[in-house]
A and B are shown apart, each in its own frame.
Chain A
Amino acid sequence: MATTKMLTLKDIEPGQVCIVEGLGTKSMLRKRIIDMGVTIGTKIEVRKLAPLGDPMEIYIRGYHLSLRKAEAAEVVVRMV
C-alpha cells in the first residue's frame, strides 16, 4: 500500500458520494464491514454525522448504516 495518505470514508462530507476501493484493517471489524455490504466498487453516500460529530450515517445498498469514524477510516474510497 502507498505511504501517501489515502482518501477514506472518514474524510467524505455529508451529501457526497464515493466508491469503495479497498479496506485497510485486518481486525475482526473488517469482516463485519464487508458482510454489511461494503465491498469493492460499492457506492456509498454519506448522509450525516451524529450531532456530536461521530458516528456517521451512510446510505449503502438501499439501507442506512451507522459506523464510527474510526471504523470509516478503514474504508478506502475514491470520489465519484
Chain B
Amino acid sequence: MDLHIALVGNPNSGKTTLFNDLTGSTQYVGNWPGVTVEKKTGKMKYEGKQIQVTDLPGIYSFSTYSLEEVIAREFVEEGAIDVVVNIVDASNLQRNLFLSLQLIEMKKPVVIALNMMDVLESRGVTLDIAALSEALHVPVVPIVASKGKGIVELMKAVEATVGKEVILPDVYHSDVESIISEIERKLPIEPCSRTHAIRFLEDGVVATVGHAMDPLALASLNQWVDEKVSKRLMDRDMIISDEKYSFITSITDKITSNTKTSEVKTTSDKIDSVLTHKYLAIPIFLLIMFGVFSMAFGPVGSFFKEYFEIFIEEVVISGIAGFLVSVGVSEWLYSLVVDGILAGVGSVLSFLPEISILFLMLSILEDSGYMARAAFIMDRLLRRFGLSGRSFIPMIMGFGCTVPALMAARTLESERDRRLTMIITPFMSCGARFPVYAVFAAAFFTDSQPLVVFSIYLLGIFVAVISGIILKRFVTKGRVSSFIMELPEYRLPTIKNLWLHTWDRIKGFIIKAGTIILVAMVVIWFLQSYDFAFALVEDSADSIFGRLGQAIAPIFAPLGFGEWRAAMSLIVGLIAKEAVVGTLGVLYGVGETAVESPELLTGPLKEVFTPLSAYAFMAFTLLYMPCIAAFATMKREMNSWKWTLIAVGYQTGVAWFVAFAIYQGGIWLQLG
C-alpha cells in the first residue's frame, strides 16, 4: 500500500456513503479484534497509487470511553495512518466540529470533507469554507457524498497533506493552554501527549498503562491542576469541552450567513411531526413493522422462496446428484453430499429470498433515519425489560427468522444491550418452528388449534420479557445504558448505499451457510448414518445419534416425552427447527412427507404423547437453543464463545424448566 487513510466522523454524517464512494466493491467487513464492533476496510486507486481506507466506527467524541470510541482513538493514535479524513456534516456543524477539534489535537494530518452542503444550501445558509479552513489550519473540501461529488478534490487535498506538519488552532484561552502545556511537559506520554494532557486535565486520570510517572508526583500534579482551575467557576471536566464549543461557536458565527430571516420548518420536521406524533406514532410504527414483515414472509417473500426452493432442489441438488451418479461415486459419498451437505445447506439457503427482502427493508429503515425514531418511540416500554428502544427491531424480526434478527442487533449501541437482545431474540418464535406446532396442534388440539398455536407465540414473548427483567441484573454490570442519541434528518436512501448495505448482510449469511453450517451438516450426517463401530447403519435408531437420543431421553422424562425418538428429533431440530417434524416422520415410519401431510403423524404421536406432554414438547421446541445457523450467527455477532454458550445454555435451561412446569403443573392440576 502506498497510502493509508482512515475515515472518522459522527454517526449519520455520511461516513459510510463516502466510504462506499471511495472503495466501491473492494470493501471487506470484519470485526475489530476481540470485540463486536464492525471493522470495514477497502482499497482504492488514485493516480496510480494504491490507497488503503479504514472506516472507523461512527462516534460523537473521543472522550467517553465507549467501545467504539476507544477503538477509534487507539487506531488514530497508534495506527500507521498517513491522513485522517474527517467527514463533517455541514448541516450540523457545531457538534461535528467538536470531534474535528479532538482529532486535530492528536496531531495527525487531517483533511475535512464537508458533506451535505446541499442540505445547508436548501435551508438558505451559506458557509465561508476558506475561513473555516483558515481557523482550523486544515484543508476543508466540500463534497456531496450521496452523489459522489468532490471526491477527486478530496483526494487531491489528502495527497497534499501527507507528511505535513500539523499546526494547532488556537482553541483555548491562555490560562487553560498554559495548564495543558505544563501537564504535557510533566507527563510526556507519546504518541499524542497533548491528548493525554487534556484528558488528565479533565479527569485526573492517566488513561495509558505503563507510563513512567510515579503516583506521588501524579497526585501533586493533580492537585496543582485543581488549584489552577479553581479560578474558573466551572467543574474541571467541563472546561475543555466548554472552551472547544466556545471556539466552535465563534467560528460558526463568523462563517455562516443566513439568507432566510426566520427559521423555516424543514421537510424533515414535517415528516417527523407525523411519524412521532403523540397518538399516531405507535399505530404507524406497528403498521410499518407489519409491512416489513408481510413483505418478507408474506406473499412476496414466499413467491420468491417457492421458486428459489425449486431452483435449489431441481437444478442445483439434482444437478450435483446426477453428476455424482454419472461419475460413479461410492454410496456413502453420495449420501454425504446429497443427503447431508446439500439437503442441509439447501434448507438454510432456501430462506435466502425472504432474508434478502428483510435485509433490504431494514436498510431502508436505517438509511432513511426512521430506525432512530422507532427506537425513540419504543424505548420506554422496552426499558422495563432491561432492553433499549433499539432492541425492538431484532425482536420483531425474530418472528421471521432468528438469523437476520441476530444480525440486526448490530444496530444497538452498547455491547450490553446487544448481548441481552441476542439472548432474548431466539424466544420469538421463528417461522421454522411453526410446522412443529402445526403437527402437534392438529393431532392433539383439533378444536382449538389456532388458540393453542397463538398461546405458544405468546409464551415466547412472555419468556423473553421475564428473561429481560431477570437477566438485566446480571448483564447490566459495567456501563450505564443511555439514550443520548441523535435523531437524524430524514433522508431518501440512495440505491447504491441500499445495495451495498443489503449485500453486506446477505454475503454474511451466505458465507455462514457455506462454512459453519456445511461443517455442521457433515458432522450431523455422520452421526446419523454411522454407529459407534463406524459402520453404516440401516436403521437410524442404531446410529450414534439414535444411541444419543436413547441416552438423553431420560432427561425429558419429567417433561412428559422421555422417548428416544422425540429426544432425537429435538437434536436433529438443531439443524433447522422444522426438521423436528421430518425426523419424527422418519422415526415413526410415516416418512418425511409428515411435513406436507401432518395428519399422518397423528396416530403414532397419540401413542407416545398426551395433549399435556404435546404442549410441553411444543414449548420446549419454542424455547430451546436455536438452530445451528442461529448459533453460528450468535457466535459471530457476540464474538465470544463464553457468551454464546451462556446464551444457548440459558435458552435450553429455560426450555427445560418451562416444559417441566407445564407438564408437572398440568399433572398436578389433573389436566394430563
Q: Which residues of A contact B (CB under 8 A)?
A: 23, 27-37, 39-40, 42, 48-55, 57, 61-68, 71
Contact = CB atoms under 8 A, between A and B. Distances in A.
B278 interface: yes
A68 to B, nearest CB: 5
A50 B380 contact: yes
Give the dominant DSSP class at A's interface. mixed
15 contacts: A28-B479, A30-B237, A31-B63, A35-B98, A35-B241, A42-B245, A48-B278, A50-B276, A51-B282, A57-B376, A61-B94, A65-B484, A67-B482, A71-B482, A71-B483
A40 B242 contact: yes
A40 B234 contact: yes
Contact size range, B: 35 or more
Interface string B233-265: 011011001100110000000000000000000
A39 B242 contact: yes
Most buried by A among B60, B63, B372, B484: B484
B75 interface: no
B105 interface: no
B555 interface: no
Contacts of B61: 32, 35-36
B379 A68 contact: yes
A37 B97 CA distance: 11
Contact of A23 (B238, B246, B276, B485): B238
Contact of A67 (B92, B94, B202, B483): B483
Most buried by A among B60, B376, B389: B376
A49 B237 CA distance: 29
Contacts of B202: 31
A51 B245 contact: no
Contact of A35 (B64, B277, B282, B376): B64
Interface of B: 60-61, 63-65, 91-95, 98, 202, 234-235, 237-238, 241-242, 245-246, 276-279, 281-282, 372, 376-377, 379-381, 383, 389, 479-480, 482-488
A44 to B, nearest CB: 13
B238 A35 contact: no
A61 B487 CA distance: 13
A68 B61 CA distance: 20
B487 A51 contact: no
A56 B456 CA distance: 36
Nearest to B12: A63
B484 A29 contact: yes
Given A27-B480, A31-B64, A55 B379 contact: yes
B344 to A, nearest CB: 44
Nearest to A54: B380
B472 to A, nearest CB: 15
Contacts of B488: 64
Contact of A62 (B64, B94, B376): B94
Nearest to A63: B92
B279 A51 contact: yes
B276 A57 contact: yes
Contacts of A65: 484-487
Contacts of B485: 65-67
A33 B61 CA distance: 11
Nearest to A33: B484
B374 to A, nearest CB: 11
Contacts of B93: 62
A49 B483 CA distance: 13
A25 B379 CA distance: 22
B226 to A, nearest CB: 16
B241 A64 contact: no
Contacts of B486: 63-66
Nearest to B285: A51
Contact of B487 (A28, A37, A64): A64
Contacts of B234: 40
Given A50-B276, A50-B376, A66 B63 contact: no
A30 B482 CA distance: 11
B483 A66 contact: yes
Given A39-B241, A65-B485, A68-B483, A50 B64 contact: no
Given A31-B202, A66-B486, 6 more contacts: A28-B64, A35-B61, A35-B63, A37-B245, A40-B234, A68-B383
Contact of A34 (B94, B238, B279, B376): B238
